[in-house]
Amino acid sequence: MTAHLARVERVNPMVNAIVTLAADDALLEADAADAALARGDAVGPLHGLPIAHKDLFVTAGLRTTFGSRVFADHVPSETAVIVERERRAGAITIGKTNTPEFGAGSQTFNEVFGATRNPFDLTKTCGGSSGGAAVALATGMVPIADGSDLGGSLRNPASFCNVVGLRPTPGRVPSWPDATPWFPFSVAGPMARTVGDVALLLDAIAGSDSRAPLSVGIPAAPCADALERDLRDVRVAWSPDLGGLPVEPAVTAVLERQRGAFEALGCSVEHDCPDFSGADTVFITWRAWAYDAMFGDTLDRHPGMLKDTVVWNIEAGRALTGRDLADAERARAALYDRVRRFMTEYEFLLLPVAQVVPFDIDQPYVTEINGEALPTYLDWMKSCYQISVTGLPAMSVPCGHTPEGLPVGLQIVGRPFDERGVLQLAHAFEQATECWRRRPPLLAALAEP
């Protein structure tokens, strides 16, 4: 714990990843963890590991701001179930990680704490919305972290920071407290520097909880001890643009260099992709509905206090009609059926995590790709959010770097409820390529005399 806190003290002022630090309590808990080992007590799988919690997850007695000025001094009385399970498994809370306001957008900045910087290039964004978590991992401030994902928030920052982020099947990791407990697109999940560590954390946080209705009845599927697998003749669909999305050439070049790694593992790799027509309608409609449900009352009580993109999403939700929701649900049913059929032919779908490389820290969101204008702050995240609406498990795993040293992640999508399979393929790819070993240059600079 002392070593990790020392790293926080040296690195965090440069990147602004951990926004609330609980150093004194963490040291006391580390002493208690040492004492438990000395007594020979039975301990959990995360015993003694420092962990930081995304600032969207409530933590009783520890400030939780949601990245919003409205909650800048908010100290909740409840603790999120994911945090409860991490602590029950032995992890020790070191603090909270930065997030955009209410997790809106894949660029981590807010008016409470400012922006979180990419440790591979401090002039670039780390992605989001679990950006603080990704940076804390990449810089060694914590070994494991938690995050959440609606349109890519576990995967996008993992891609931008050369770490691993897993978006589980909805319900695999229970979400509570939750204003929209039946909403199937927003999930909580694990992040770490390696696939094995993500599997370790997933095993600790997954499983049914009666407070989270989507989790009830989802079978347990331990993963940490089942990562090795013979992948010969496994059919894999390779899609560099998810059927026609604009993707920066720098991203495509990195991914194409690694396609052969799957062939070397014995996989049968074919260029193919499901038909994702209708996915945009599904995501945009239900996201707007959810933003009104979750944050509409906050907007009414505190007009002028929320950022413009959040207000836009809330107002879009309030403008929805019954016909809009019906159209979106019909589109989701058709999409699910097409993707289900496709995934009976292929066990995995491989594609970019992000359509762009990390961009300027002062740019709120991407407005064009390859000369194609993007009308909203959500459009550059389609390679993630179109996967979100399928309900399939998906992971970002380090895939390589651009000539400028910027990380690029590969997205691995698996069959329904098959987190274990996704982890197995990601683990094999990770071991074959070792892209995860590349560390931010600022760490090397800190080691210099």
Residues 6 or more apart in contact with residue 227 via CB below 8 angstroms = 195, 196, 199, 423, 424, 427
Residue of 68, 106, 124, 129 marked active site: 129
Instruction: Please say if 129 is a catalytic residue.
Output: yes
Identify the active-site residue in 54, 96, 307, 382: 54
Residues with Cβ < 8 Å from 365, sequence gap 6 or more? 105, 106, 107, 309, 377, 380
Q: Locate 128 and state its tokens.
A: 């989001």
For residue 156, the surrounding DSSP H or E stretch is helix 156-161
Residue 284 pairs in a beta bridge with: none
Catalytic residue among 106, 130, 148, 153: 153
**Pairing status of strand 144-149 against strand 164-167:** unpaired
DSSP calls for 28-87: HHHHHHHHHHHHT----TTTT-EEEEETTS-BTTB---TT-GGGTT---S---HHHHHHH
DSSP letters of 310-330? HHHHHHHHHT--HHHHHHHHH
- Our answer to whether residue 96 is catalytic in this structure is no
Q: What is the DSSP letter of 219?
A: P
Residues 6+ away with beta carbon under 8 Å from 125: 107, 108, 115, 117, 118, 131, 160, 358, 359, 360, 361, 363
Beta-carbon contacts of residue 424 (< 8 Å; ≥ 6 apart): 226, 227, 228, 229, 231
Which is nearest to 387 in space by CA: 227, 76, 101, 154?
154
User: Between helices 322-345 and 279-301, what is the axis angle to 10°?
Assistant: 130
Please tell me the distance from the alpha carbon of residue 238 to that of residue 257, in angstroms, as a whole number.
Answer: 13
Q: Based on the residue annotation, tell me whether 153 is a catalytic residue of this protein.
A: yes
The amino acid present at 234, given as its one-letter code, is V
DSSP class of residue 226 equals -
Q: How far is CA 5 from the centre of its chain?
A: 24
User: In whole angstroms, what separates CA 327 from the centre of its chain?
Assistant: 28
Structure tokens at 336: 């699910």
Which residues does the annotation mark as catalytic?
54, 129, 153
